Amino acid sequence: MNIPFFSFKTMHPAIKTEIMNRLEAFYDSHWYVLGQYVKDFEKEYANYNNTKYCIGVANGLDALHIALKALGVGPGDEVIVPSNTYIATWLAVSYVGATIVPVEPNPKTFNLDPDKFKNAITEKTKAVMPVHLYGQSCEMDRIMAIAKANNIFVVEDNAQSQGARCEGQLTGSFGQVNGVSFYPGKNLGALGDAGGITTDDEELDLKCRTIRNYGSQKKYYNKIIGINSRLDEAHAATLLVKLPHLDAWNAERVRIADQYRKHLQGIEGIILPFIASQVTSVYHQFIIRHQRRDELQTYLKENGIGTLIHYPVPPHLQEAYSHLNFKAGDFPIAEELAQTMLSLPIYPGLSEKEVAYIAEKVKEFTFKA
C-alpha cells in the first residue's frame, strides 16, 4: 500500500463542481478584494464558531499578530505562550515587540499546563496564548479562570482545532480575541493562505478590521499604522462551500482516531494521545510517541506510509530565536516531545483498511524493536 501523510483525494472531488461554480461566479463578479464573499464568510464563520464577529485576514499568523496589536500588547509586556507549538504563536508576540514567556505543556495532552501558566504570571503579564494543538482544546475552563483572576487577556490560537470544545463551548470563543488559520491542510482549509479572527467585542472587531486594512476605516483615510492582511474574495468564496462540511469532516477524523486507538491500545512502547476529560479533539493530527521514533518513521516509510513530525525543533531552540539565549534543557517536556512524537496519516477519506494497515505496520515495528 502507498498511503500519503495527507490527501484531498476524497474531500476535494466531492465538492469540485460546487467549488468551480463558486469560483466562476467570483470571477464574473469583477470584485476581488473585500466584497460580498468575505462579508458572507465572516458572518457564517462567526455563526459556526458562536462568536459575534469574525474578521477575515490573509493567514493565521496575521490573525494572531493583529489580535495582539488590537489588545494593545507591546514592548514591556509579557505574553505567555506554550513551549510546544508551531512557531507562528511565538512570531506573533515578536511582531508586537512583547516579551515571550514560554510555559511547558502537560506531556499527556501536549497542551499548555494551566498550573504552569499560573506560576509564570508576573506583574508584566499582559496576555496568554493557549494553542489548541493537534485538534484538542486546551483546558479553557481552568485557563480562563486563572486569566480572569489575574486580569490577563486570552488570545486563543485556534489554527488547528476548528470545531473542538471545552465543556461544550467551542474553541476560538473563549478569549477576548482569537486567531484561526485556514491554511489548506487545516481541518477547514482554503485553496491557499487564509485566516480569521474571532471575537465577541464590538470595539476589538472594529480595531482588527482597521488594522487588517492599512489602518483605514474610510478609503484613503488612515487612522493608525495598519497592515495589508485581507482575506481574499476567492478564498472566502471557496471557504463558504467548505464550511458546511467541517463537522462531517471532523467526525471522520474522530472515527479514524478511534480506529487507531482500537488497534494500538496497550501496545508496548507506544504512547497514544490523551484527551482531557472536559474537552474534545477534532484530531487535526493523530500523534503517537515512541522512544525510537526516527526508526519507526523510517520503517513506516519503507512500507509506503507517509508520516510527519510536529515539530522536530521547539521554538526556543530555533535559530530564529537564538537571540533569546535559550538552551537545550530549558524546556525538557517540549524537547522530549520533539524527540518522540510522530504524526500518523489522518484525513477524511482515509479508509478503515488503510488505518488497519498503518496500525499493523506500527505494531510490526514494535514487536521487532
Ligand X SMILES: Cc1ncc(COP(=O)(O)O)c(C=O)c1O
The binding site for ligand X (CB under 6 A) comprises 59-61, 85-86, 88-89, 131, 157, 159-160, 181, 183, 193, 195
Sequential DSSP letters for 33-54? BSSHHHHHHHHHHHHHHT-SEE
CB 127 within 8 A of CB 68: yes
Residue 273's contacts (CB-CB under 8 Å, 6 or more residues apart) are 109, 110, 134, 136, 257, 281, 286, 287, 288
Instruction: Provide the minimum distance between the beta carbon of 149 and ligand X in the complex, in angstroms, as a whole number.
Output: 26
C-alpha cell at 180: 484561526
Which H or E run includes 100? strand 99-103
User: Which position's Cβ is nearest ligand X?
Assistant: 60
Nearer to ligand X, 37 or 86 (CB): 86
The CA distance from 301 to 93, in Å, is 37
The CA distance from 73 to 5, in Å, is 38
Instruction: Provide the minimum distance between the beta carbon of 158 and ligand X in the complex, in angstroms, as a whole number.
Output: 8
Nearer to ligand X, 98 or 264 (CB): 98
CB 102 within 8 A of CB 239: no
Nearer to ligand X, 42 or 193 (CB): 193
Instruction: Provide the minimum distance between the beta carbon of 195 and ligand X in the complex, in angstroms, as a whole number.
Output: 5
Q: At what angle do helices 16-29 and 36-49 cross, to 10 degrees?
A: 140
Instruction: Provide the minimum distance between the beta carbon of 90 and ligand X in the complex, in angstroms, as a whole number.
Output: 10
Beta bridge partners of 99: 78
Looking at residue 83, the DSSP 8-state letter turns out to be: S
Residue 196 phi/psi, 5-degree rounding, is -155, 160
Instruction: Provide the minimum distance between the beta carbon of 178 and ligand X in the complex, in angstroms, as a whole number.
Output: 11
Nearer to ligand X, 59 or 162 (CB): 59
Nearer to ligand X, 90 or 214 (CB): 90
Which H or E run includes 329? none
Beta bridge partners of 102: 81
Nearer to ligand X, 86 or 299 (CB): 86
Instruction: Provide the minimum distance between the beta carbon of 223 and ligand X in the complex, in angstroms, as a whole number.
Output: 25
Instruction: Provide the minimum distance between the beta carbon of 53 and ligand X in the complex, in angstroms, as a whole number.
Output: 19
Residue 180 phi/psi, 5-degree rounding, is -140, 150
Nearer to ligand X, 3 or 63 (CB): 63
Alpha helix locations (H) across 175-245? Answer: 202-212, 233-242
Instruction: Provide the minimum distance between the beta carbon of 131 and ligand X in the complex, in angstroms, as a whole number.
Output: 5
C-alpha cell at 235: 478564498
Nearer to ligand X, 162 or 181 (CB): 181
